[in-house]
């Protein structure tokens, strides 16, 4: 039986950059691009990015939920309706 894998917002970018994609906990995730040694060197000399968008969900409720989310997230939550979801590649503000 084949499983339909979920894809992160960065999926198409990973594929375009030549990532080897593998199933991981229900998600199609990049495991490698050029190889361990070139990737290690790239991270040591430049930078590395790890796609964590598959790692969790949060539910917030209560009288101060809106204020908490509005002050924490990079998107304007006033654009959401009750029951909507927010899917953003980078969700925490770092001011």
Q: Are the C-beta atoms of 20 and 32 separated by less than 8 Å?
A: yes
Distance, in Å, from the CA atom of 62 to the CA atom of 73, rounded to the nearest integer, reads 17
Q: Are residues 22 and 64 in the same domain?
A: no
* Res 62: pLDDT: 94
Q: Are residues 39 and 69 in the same domain?
A: no
pTM > 0.75: yes or no: no
Per-residue pLDDT 10s for the chain (95 aa) are 567 999 988 899 999 999 999 999 899 999 999 999 999 999 999 988 777 777 777 788 999 988 998 888 877 888 888 878 776 555 455 55
Segments forming the whole domain that contains residue 68: 57-81+88-95
Q: Are residues 68 and 27 in the same domain?
A: no
Give 72's contacts (C-beta < 8 A, 6+ positions apart).
Answer: 92, 93
Class of residue 86 by CB neighbours under 10 A (exposed 0-12, middle 13-18, buried 19+): middle
H helical segments located in the chain:
11-16, 36-45, 65-72
Could you tell me the two tokens for 49?
């990015």
| Number of separate domains in the chain | 2
* Res 15: pLDDT: 95
* Res 11: pLDDT: 92
């Amino acid at each position: 039986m084949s499983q339909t894998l979920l894809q992160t917002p960065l999926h198409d970018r990973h594929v375009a950059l030549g990532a080897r994609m593998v199933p991981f906990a229900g998600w199609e995730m990049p495991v490698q691009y050029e190889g361990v040694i070139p990737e290690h060197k790239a991270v040591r000399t430049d930078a590395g990015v790890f796609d964590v968008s598959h790692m969790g969900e949060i539910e917030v409720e209560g009288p101060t939920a809106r204020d908490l989310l509005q002050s924490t997230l990079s998107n304007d939550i006033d654009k959401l309706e009750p029951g909507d979801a927010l899917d953003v590649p980078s969700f925490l503000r770092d001011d």
